[in-house]
Amino acid sequence: MERTFLMVKPDGVERGLIGEVISRIEKKGFRMVAIKMLRISEELAGEHYAEHAGKPFFDEMLSFITSGPVVAMVWEGPGVIQSIREIMGATDPARAEPGTIRRDMGTSISRNVVHGSDSPAAAEREINLFFKDSELLD
């Protein structure tokens, strides 16, 4: 069964949007198999966003993602990786479709409420960064 990694970023946690994000995914019929709240370390942030190292927004993104608690989750279901990307919407809230999380709740490209894996390889990598196998429930 396909699985993906989803995270409510510090802006979403601070603004009380955890429930709304979860609700939208649950209503779509997907199943949560793991969840935890944590404060991301500099090291974990660097690994999670390794593909963006060296980009102009990298340092600011790392300081933002480590600035407060996040909620990390694993979701399961057919086509869940692509479906959650669609429910999230485009990276920049101003360009995201109406009805997506980022359009409805995001306030800027850096404060766009959620992260979701963009491919099966990314999903596997990100799930393993944040969760042990024993933390994923059936």
Residues in touch with ligand CDP (CB under 6 A): 57, 61, 91, 109-110, 112, 115, 118
- Residue 128: contacted member of ligand CDP, Mg ion, none (CB under 5 to 8 Å, by partner type): none
- Residue 107: contacted member of ligand CDP, Mg ion, none (CB under 5 to 8 Å, by partner type): none
Q: Which amino acid is at 110?
A: S
Angle at 37 between CA 31 and CA 39, to 5 degrees: 140
Nearer to Mg ion, 118 or 124 (CB): 118
CB of 89 to ligand CDP, least distance (A): 9
CB of 56 to ligand CDP, least distance (A): 7
Angle at 42 between CA 54 and CA 71, to 5 degrees: 110
Q: Minimal CA–CA distance to 86: which of 107, 105, 101, 104?
A: 101
